[in-house]
């Protein structure tokens, strides 16, 4: 996206992390910014912050896992601004632990936000953007979906999250091909961040009451995963603001894949080689065996 003045950005998960930083960049570039998030108080504060930059801001509280709420957001955007030029399907939640220890409600929550939230955003906004491209030869639109390096690496003890993000990878790659069949002016992009200081390790605070297990505490594996995630996320050296800038750079360069940590692609290459050769999955801790040994001891109750 090379020309942004007066254009419209729609961002989910906009009250923190990548979403908030993308909203700030959009505001500084003269865009009208629709900020959607499930946290009403944080959304109000963030919208005020972005509005202070000088942008016209439309805050909108929603749960992206609910199709009707995404449809209502799309209708509200169309009525106020028309078709958006940048849709950032970014809302996400984290979850860790051994696969078989997750409840059905865990699966519903993580997939509802991470996968269906993206799918609903694509479904609600893409037709509007395609219609705008057909009606206006100068229109250019971009859909950016947030996945994760976890969706490309499949690390252990976080399988529900991995699976949801792997599905976003597949969905977005297919979206890229589908769009290329019908237009040259609406483009898809895939964001795969690694460990970046955001609030994703605090996702549990936003889980709906109906998707909580009454009286059920976290298992040992889930507590271990939470502690490891918090340490990795909070110690990340690439900031959310830097990742948001990478998103805007990718749109300007018409680049599909957006990586916060390109060095992590070595692990992706190894995994692809495992699949193609084929061979059994490589130990994810092969280069840091002490971490794998510690995790095994913890999960087996030996530490």
Buried b (16+ CB within 10 A) or exposed e, 13-43: bbbbbbbbbbbbbbbebebbbbbbbbbeebb
**Which CATH number, 3.30.70.1560, 1.20.1090.10, 3.40.50.720, 3.40.640.10, labels domain 8-260?**
3.40.50.720
Give whole-number Cα distances, 28 to 101, 120, 260, in Å: 45, 28, 22
Distance CA 96, CA 207 (A): 14
pLDDT of residue 203: 84
pLDDT band at 1 (very low <50, low <70, confident <90, very high): low
Q: Domain segments of the chain: what residues?
A: 8-260, 267-303
Mean pLDDT taken over the chain: 95
For residue range 97-106, list pLDDT tens digits in order. Answer: 999 999 999 9
Residue 259 is a catalytic residue? no
For residue range 108-120, list pLDDT tens digits in order. Answer: 999 999 999 999 9
pLDDT of residue 182: 98
Distance CA 38, CA 12 (A): 9
User: How does DSSP assign 4-55, residue by residue?
Assistant: -TT-EEEEESTTSHHHHHHHHHHHHTT-EEEEEES-HHHHHHHHHHHHTTT-
pLDDT of residue 125: 98
pLDDT of residue 244: 98
139, 161, 194, 259: the catalytic one is 161
pLDDT of residue 48: 97
Query: Tokens for 2?
Result: 């090379």
Angle at 281 between CA 278 and CA 283, to 5 degrees: 145
For residue range 185-237, list pLDDT tens digits in order. Answer: 999 999 999 989 887 878 888 888 888 887 778 999 999 999 998 988 888 89
For residue range 247-257, list pLDDT tens digits in order. Answer: 999 999 999 99
pLDDT of residue 166: 98
For residue range 128-137, list pLDDT tens digits in order. Answer: 999 999 999 9
């Amino acid at each position: 996206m090379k020309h942004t003045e007066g254009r419209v950005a729609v961002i989910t998960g906009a009250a923190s992390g990548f979403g908030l930083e993308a909203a700030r960049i959009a505001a500084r570039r003269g865009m009208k910014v629709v900020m959607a998030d499930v946290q009403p108080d944080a959304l109000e504060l963030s919208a005020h912050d972005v509005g202070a930059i000088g942008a016209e801001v439309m805050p909108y509280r929603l749960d992206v896992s609910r199709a009707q709420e995404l449809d209502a957001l799309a209708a509200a955007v169309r009525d106020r601004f028309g078709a958006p030029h940048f849709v950032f399907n970014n809302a996400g939640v984290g979850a860790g632990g051994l696969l078989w220890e997750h409840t059905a409600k865990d699966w519903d929550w993580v997939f509802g936000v991470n996968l269906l939230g993206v799918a609903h955003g694509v479904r609600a906004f893409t037709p509007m953007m395609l219609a705008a491209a057909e009606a206006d030869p100068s229109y250019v639109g971009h859909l950016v979906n947030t996945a994760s390096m976890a969706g490309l690496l499949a690390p252990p003890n976080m399988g529900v999250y991995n699976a949801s993000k792997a599905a976003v990878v597949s969905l977005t790659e297919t979206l890229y091909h589908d769009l290329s069949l019908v237009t040259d002016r609406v483009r898809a992009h895939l964001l795969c961040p690694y460990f970046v200081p955001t609030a994703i390790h605090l996702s549990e605070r936003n889980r709906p009451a109906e998707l909580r297990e009454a009286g059920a505490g976290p298992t040992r594996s889930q507590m271990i995963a939470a502690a490891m995630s918090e340490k990795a996320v909070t110690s990340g050296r690439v900031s959310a603001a830097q990742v948001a800038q990478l998103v805007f750079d990718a749109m300007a360069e018409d680049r599909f894949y957006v990586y916060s940590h390109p060095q992590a692609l070595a692990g992706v290459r190894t995994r692809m080689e495992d699949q193609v050769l084929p061979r059994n999955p490589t130990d994810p801790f092969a280069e840091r065996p002490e971490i794998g040994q510690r995790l095994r001891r913890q999960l087996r109750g030996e530490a």
